[in-house]
Amino acid sequence: MSIPAHLWLFDENGSPIVGPSLLPARLGSFEIRSVIHQVWIPENSNTGRLTGTRVHSPLNLHKEFDAATPVLYRAMCEGRTLKKAELKMYRILDQGVESEYFNMIMENVKITSISPLLHPTGLTSTHLEDIQLRYEKITWKHCDGNILYTDEWNNRATY
């Protein structure tokens, strides 16, 4: 199993939506079991030429049910815009310690779907939920060297 990522969510006022993590460096975050996210550019399958601008799919993640689950449902059902969602990923260094190495920072976030995820084969010992996030702006950051790129819907990409 890979090292889980952790998610911090901030409501429309910038206040944290508190997750269950009690780890000192990740206090109040949500442990994320899986992440799926795709950014792609439409292209002509015959020529390979680009036919449009980039398209962001929702950021899809799995987390355990917890006390914040009803808060997330409320945000989705009422169409609230979360100020920020920050996903941090970790890796094990040669010294055997975890180190944060990659971030995905989303701004003006909408929760567009929440689905219970109960594996019929019992592959997991807990109940999970599948959450989809849409955003207006995203920054991908590789922490080692502070290498980053930001994309937002208001800025039209030119090629």
Domain enclosing residue 75, as ranges:
5-152
Q: Which range scores top for mean pLDDT: 64-68, 120-124, 150-154?
A: 64-68
At residue 1, does pLDDT exceed 60?
A: no
Residues 6+ apart with CB under 8 A from 109: 9, 81, 82, 83, 84, 85, 133, 134, 135
Q: What is the CA radius of gyration of the chain?
A: 17
Count: domains in the chain: 1
Q: Which CATH number is 57's domain given?
A: 2.30.110.20
Across all residues in the chain, what is the average pLDDT? 92
159 in any annotated domain: no
pLDDT (0 to 100) of residue 119: 74
At residue 105, does pLDDT exceed 60?
A: yes
